[in-house]
Amino acid sequence: MSYTLLKNVMTTSFIGLVLSACSTTTLSPATQANNEVYFKPVKAPIADAEKKQIMTSEEVVINGQTHKIGWHTIARTGQVLPSLDGKTTEIFGQVKDETGKPISHSDGSPFVCKTSKDGSGPDHTTLHERNGHFYAITQFECGPAAMYISRLEKTAEGGFKAVATSHISQAGYYGGWVHCAGMKTPWGSHLGSEEYEANARAVAKDEYYNNFTRYFKEGEKALNPYYWGWMPEVTITSDKGDTEYVKHYSMGRFAHELGYVMPDEKTVYLTDDGLNGALFMFIADKAKDLSAGTLYSAKLAQKSDLNGGSFGITWINLGHANDAQIRKFIDKKLAFEDMFEAVKDTDGKCPADFRSVNTAWGTECLKLKTGMGVVASRLESRRFAAYQGATTEFNKKEGITFDAKRNQLYIAISRILYGMEDYKKSGEASTKYDLGGGNHIRLPRNDCGGVYKLAITSGQKDSSGVAIASNLVAGNFVGEVMGVMKTYPKGSEFESNKCAIDGIAEPDNLTFITKSNVLIIGEDTGLHQIDYVWAYDVETKSLTRILTTPYGSETTSPFWYPNIGGNGYLTTVIQHPYGESDKDKKSSPQDIESWVGVVGPFPAFE
């Protein structure tokens, strides 16, 4: 099979050793400033047997040297493993209450975050090396949610496997909520997320919120919507795998997909998943400390609607806050009505002294109460951003990654719909997603979505003309690689696909291979029957399919590790197989268990 060339702009030398399929030899590191990387492509699965397995690139060529790579399973949901202290056993993904007791269903079966019954399953996993010990921290996308730390051992094939695991308590912060994507910070901690925060004006309709009666000893009496929707951080504090857990209230509350920490260790970009979301930027007061800082939200100015559109960005300062300051309001069980007055709009128009906003919660007429700006900026960050004039029209804004060589940030948009769509241009009858809002984004509909690049510059000022205290501020938002909607002939092998097979569909999470041209794009889609992971060359604009998943699953949170134990790895989670489609295709109950694993081993990139 021929290779798709992912070509760098500089000539590089050969490196490394040939890795046999069974070797545990640590490869010579890739020390070039620019590494040529070629992946052996994976074909789009056609046969039923191919659609029931994980298929990955079998080889990668780096600077002319061929290396065997493949998929290596770390753990699967429901797997029983010894606890880290060896005193008991744990079910990987089991959800526990605030006392640490496992939660069960009414029929006595354990609440394990693995299926549509209990949630989506594991999402982001980070790898850690501490004094020769290897660990993985995995967060689970359920409500109540769970986090686990697993001790790892290297396998003979060069991968990792979990040999012990323990539940990480989140009780000191009212438990965890629908953990989605994340990252390993430059200082080595696990930075997580809490997605799809409850609407504080309509909590009775939120299934995850009502589920929390099983988490608290006091049941419904203990609930408050402002407990969740934040950024959790986990730090490993000992070689035994002890952990410290916090939530960063300073970073705002919304549907956090993830926060991406930039190389200055202070600037963090935050994506807001769902309908009519915002784009946020947080600048910490101190490097490696996310407990205090200034929150900004982006206002877009459209320049073009071609290839996903082109926009300028102005950043609106939403104010400064710290964790302790905001925690006081949360502990007091502050209500939405303590921050805003709200009245019904009339076709997007509001009475005098009220401002019209259109966010994930629809069109609202709001008036901020005196002295509540700081707390509203954190507890109701999306509404407050819209109130201040920021763009709240993004749809399914997902993964983020950074290319240091070109000084470019990349952000995935799964579907260009609703608030992002120009309804007049597309002929859609409904305008509700723009009604009463700024209508800053006006694009042709694209159900297949795309990945955007944002140029990073220094010396920028906010919307008030005040200098922003970061040299890593995004100045634009431009379409880079877009999916293509396509209808395949009835009866053809790709009939069930609605996006072109050789292009991306509903991109989700992203990562960038260090010192290369390779952007990794994972999918979460129903428009490809089988979800893929792609390698995209940002210079040649070529796409190579490098991983396919079983029926009904999605690829979550790929993340590049340049050096863990002397090798590079690409983490990936195969979430809820047979969970979103093709349920009739599974052969056994085991088929629905999610995989946490790595692709590799690669030579270390240094």
3-state class (DSSP) for residue 336: helix
The closest alpha carbon to 510, from 557, 549, 554, belongs to 557
Evaluate if residue 580 carries a pLDDT over 90. no
- Residue 32 and residue 13 in contact, taking contact as beta carbons nearer than 8 Å: yes
Evaluate if residue 354 carries a pLDDT over 80. yes
- Residue 199 and residue 206 in contact, taking contact as beta carbons nearer than 8 Å: yes
- Residue 49 and residue 550 in contact, taking contact as beta carbons nearer than 8 Å: no
Q: What is the pLDDT of residue 429?
A: 47
- Please give the angle made by the CA atoms of 390, 538 and 401, to the nearest 5 degrees: 45
Burial (0-12, 13-18, 19+ Cβ within 10 Å), 594: buried
pLDDT band at 23 (very low <50, low <70, confident <90, very high): very low
Q: What is the pLDDT of residue 25?
A: 44
- Range name among 8-12, 402-406, 437-441, 548-552 with the lowest pLDDT average: 8-12
Pairwise CA distance, residues 140 & 170, whole Å:
12
Which residues, in sequence order, are bridge partners of residue 110? Answer: 104
pLDDT band at 148 (very low <50, low <70, confident <90, very high): very high
- Range name among 4-13, 32-41, 317-326, 370-379 with the lowest pLDDT average: 4-13
Mean pLDDT confidence for 575-592: 91
Evaluate if residue 9 carries a pLDDT over 80. no
Who's near 45: CB < 8 A, 6+ residues apart?
A: 51, 55, 530, 548
Mean pLDDT confidence for 364-381: 98
Mean pLDDT of the chain: 92
Q: What is the pLDDT of residue 235?
A: 98
Who's near 286: CB < 8 A, 6+ residues apart?
A: 266, 292
Q: What is the pLDDT of residue 422?
A: 87
Query: Could you tell me the two tokens for 515?
Result: 């010192």
Residue % of the chain over a pLDDT of 70 = 94
Chain mean position to CA 400: 7
pLDDT band at 20 (very low <50, low <70, confident <90, very high): very low
Pairwise CA distance, residues 291 & 303, whole Å:
36
- Residue 548 and residue 526 in contact, taking contact as beta carbons nearer than 8 Å: no
pTM: 0.94
Mean pLDDT confidence for 231-257: 98
The DSSP symbol for 358 reads E
pLDDT band at 423 (very low <50, low <70, confident <90, very high): low
Burial (0-12, 13-18, 19+ Cβ within 10 Å), 82: middle
Q: How does DSSP assign 197-258, residue by residue?
A: ---TT-GGG-HHHHHGGGTSTTGGGG--GGGSS-EEEEEE-STT--EEEEEEGGG--S-EEE
User: Which of the two residues, 557 and 236, has the higher pLDDT score?
Assistant: 236
Evaluate if residue 8 carries a pLDDT over 60. no
Q: What is the pLDDT of residue 18?
A: 31
The closest alpha carbon to 356, from 374, 371, 379, 340, belongs to 340
Pairwise CA distance, residues 94 & 104, whole Å:
9
Which residues, in sequence order, are bridge partners of residue 597? Answer: 73, 572
Mean pLDDT confidence for 246-263: 98
Mean pLDDT confidence for 102-118: 84
The DSSP symbol for 365 reads E
pLDDT band at 454 (very low <50, low <70, confident <90, very high): very high
Q: What is the pLDDT of residue 75?
A: 98
Q: Residues 54-96: pLDDT tens digits?
A: 999 999 999 999 999 999 999 999 999 999 999 999 999 999 9
Residue 406 phi/psi, 5-degree rounding, is -100, 0
- Residue 193 and residue 147 in contact, taking contact as beta carbons nearer than 8 Å: no
Pairwise CA distance, residues 204 & 110, whole Å:
25
3-state class (DSSP) for residue 450: strand
Pairwise CA distance, residues 2 & 5, whole Å:
9
User: Which of the two residues, 14 and 32, has the higher pLDDT score?
Assistant: 32
Q: Residues 502-519: pLDDT tens digits?
A: 999 999 999 999 999 999
Mean pLDDT confidence for 33-59: 95
- Residue 412 and residue 557 in contact, taking contact as beta carbons nearer than 8 Å: no
Q: What is the pLDDT of residue 121?
A: 93
Evaluate if residue 470 carries a pLDDT over 50. yes
Residue % of the chain over a pLDDT of 90 = 86
Query: What is the number of other CB atoms lying within 10 angstroms of the CB of residue 153?
Result: 12
